[in-house]
Structure 1
Amino acid sequence: MKKRHAALAALALVGILSGCGQTKTQPADNTISISPVEQTTTEKQSGAVIEYLFSGNNTEANGITFNTYTYNGKTWENMDKPIGVYGMGLNNGTGKIIFRHDADTINVAYDIEMTFPSGGASTQYGDSSELSKLPTDNLTVAVTGQEKPIDDLAVDVEIPLVVRVFNTDGATHTVEVNAFTDPDSSETLKNCIFAEAITVKFVHDDSVS
């Protein structure tokens, strides 16, 4: 399986003193703004719903792709071909990405629900076949996503939106989103029985109008 590493976009939030207050520069053209939506405590703990809003900053991107990775004990492995949707405008307002699964079952895949700034919607249904094989006795999960808005995400840059780590010790664990980009930094990841990450990339495809 081909392994790919995510590259994090640099964030440029420059404060400029002007008049009586401080203002922020506008995001650069041909970038995406994406921000997490705060969930209820129950949803946040279970990871049953993880939601983001996004919009284009005069971007040429016309598609959104998602990749699923699993952790093999040392590195993240790309498990599937990218799934995605193409041919939508991203500069006409705000879109939404929602990762959702049955709140009563933690070892189940996310469905990915998308609504687009230009109108329309799409749902990508997850495959739970691997997750369903996990032992259920004392099974716990730690879930995280991006916690802060990103105003200048460049086209074709991949970032993690969900990281899930499973254990069977019955203990409560936490995980940071940088467990994807720097797995050696996460003790929770090192000691888990299974972990997955879902990434997003806003892309431009010349073959799609």
Structure 2
Amino acid sequence: MRAVVHVAVIVSVAWDILSRDMDIQIRDRSRQPIGVAQVDPAARPMLVRAIAADGAPHEIYLDWEHALDDAGQLRSCVTCGCQHLYRRRTLPRFAPFALVLAGAGVVAGVLGYSSDPIVLAALVALLVLDGAVLVLARVQLVCYRCGSAYGGAPIARYHRAWDARIAAEPDNQPAVPSDMNAPNDARGPSLPSNQ
């Protein structure tokens, strides 16, 4: 009976990991942005429709052959097949605004204006805003070779922050950009759709 409960917990955790959609900011092998797509990792679609910044749709082929590990977490890039991914924290859009306000709060404190109750209330509000910036920061996986970013998916512990030695390896270098309209094998499996 105990083994059955243990297996049920493992299956439910694996189902929960694979049930969330993953946001992919897709780039080609020369690190040029192609578009953004939402993908269900459990379905492992071979073809997705990515929407570019100008609204143009592109059909992108994804390679799921060895992309997921046994826990259902991303192990390699599905757009170019690179085995090396790193984790990156992305801050919310209001982070620069919060940084400017924090600088203003430091100046107010240094100049001695912090004894005023209104200034103290503003500094507390600023502290809450800075805490929100840290809490709302998301972690993404990014491919060393093509620069595609994966968000909304669980990240395995073996993925580390960016490492210059791994980035300098020849296999992780981007392809040389060429004419985007000409056929180019260096762009990897990502192909724009016919319009």
Please report the TM-score for the alignment, with normalisation by the length of structure 1. Answer: 0.27
Please report the TM-score for the alignment, with normalisation by the length of structure 2. Answer: 0.28
**Larger relative contact order (CA 8 Å, sep ≥ 6):** 2
**Higher strand proportion (structure 1 or 2):** 1
Name the larger-Rg structure. 2
